[in-house]
Amino acid sequence: IDKAPVLENFRLEETDFPENLADGQVLAKTLYLSMDPYLRYCMNEESAGSFLLIWNISEVVFSNGIGVVEQSRSSQFKVGDIILYFNWPWQTKCILDDGSLKKLDPSLVDGHVSHYLGLLGTTGLTSLIGIKLQGHVTPGANQTMVISGAAGGCGSLAGQIGRLLGCTRIIGICGTNEKCAVLTSELGFDEALNYKMPGLAYKLKACCPNGVDIYFHNVGGEISDIVISQMKKNSHLVLCGQISQYNKAPPFDIDPQTETNLKECNIARELFLLPDYSDQFESATLELSEWLRAGKLKNTYKRTNCNCIVMFVPSII
In a domain, residue 101? The reply is yes
In a domain, residue 296? The reply is no
Check whether residue 63 and residue 154 sit in a common domain: no
Check whether residue 135 and residue 244 sit in a common domain: yes
Check whether residue 100 and residue 184 sit in a common domain: no
pLDDT of residue 194: 98
In a domain, residue 297? The reply is no
171: domain CATH number is 3.40.50.720
Q: What percent of the chain has pLDDT over 70?
A: 85
Strand 62-72 relative to strand 231-239: parallel, antiparallel, unpaired? unpaired
Check whether residue 213 and residue 102 sit in a common domain: no
In a domain, residue 79? The reply is yes
In a domain, residue 173? The reply is yes
Check whether residue 153 and residue 230 sit in a common domain: yes
> What is the span of the domain harbouring residue 31?
7-118+303-316
Instruction: Give per-residue pLDDT as tens, 262-300.
Output: 999 999 988 888 888 999 999 999 999 999 999 999 976
Check whether residue 133 and residue 111 sit in a common domain: no
Check whether residue 97 and residue 139 sit in a common domain: no
Check whether residue 134 and residue 264 sit in a common domain: yes
| pLDDT-derived band at 247, boundaries 50, 70, 90 | very low
6 has a pLDDT exceeding 60? yes
234 has a pLDDT exceeding 60? yes
Using H for helix, E for strand and C for coil, what is the string for the chain? CCCCCCHHHCCCCCCCCCCCCCCCEEEEEEEEECCCHHHHHHHCHHHHCCCCCCCCCCCCCEEEEEEEEEEECCCCCCCCCEEEEEEEECCCEEEEEHHHCEECCHHHHCCCHHHHHCCCCHHHHHHHHHHHHHHCCCCCCCCEEEEECCCCHHHHHHHHHHHHHCCCEEEEEECCHHHHHHHHHCCCCCEEEECCCCCHHHHHHHHCCCCEEEEEECCCHHHHHHHHHCEEEEEEEEECCCHHHCCCCCCCCCCHHHHHHHHHCCCCCCECCHHHHHHHHHHHHHHHHHHHHCCCCCCCCCCCCCCCHHHHHHHHC
Check whether residue 44 and residue 102 sit in a common domain: yes
245 has a pLDDT exceeding 80? no
Calpha distance 106→82 (Å, rounded):
8
In a domain, residue 264? The reply is yes
pLDDT of residue 226: 97
The number of domains in the chain is 2
Check whether residue 53 and residue 133 sit in a common domain: no
Check whether residue 141 and residue 241 sit in a common domain: yes
In a domain, residue 254? The reply is yes
Calpha distance 133→127 (Å, rounded):
10
In a domain, residue 292? The reply is no
Instruction: Give per-residue pLDDT as tens, 40-77.
Output: 667 776 655 556 777 777 788 878 899 999 999 999 99
305 has a pLDDT exceeding 70? no
27: domain CATH number is 3.90.180.10
Check whether residue 184 and residue 85 sit in a common domain: no
pTM score of the predicted model = 0.83
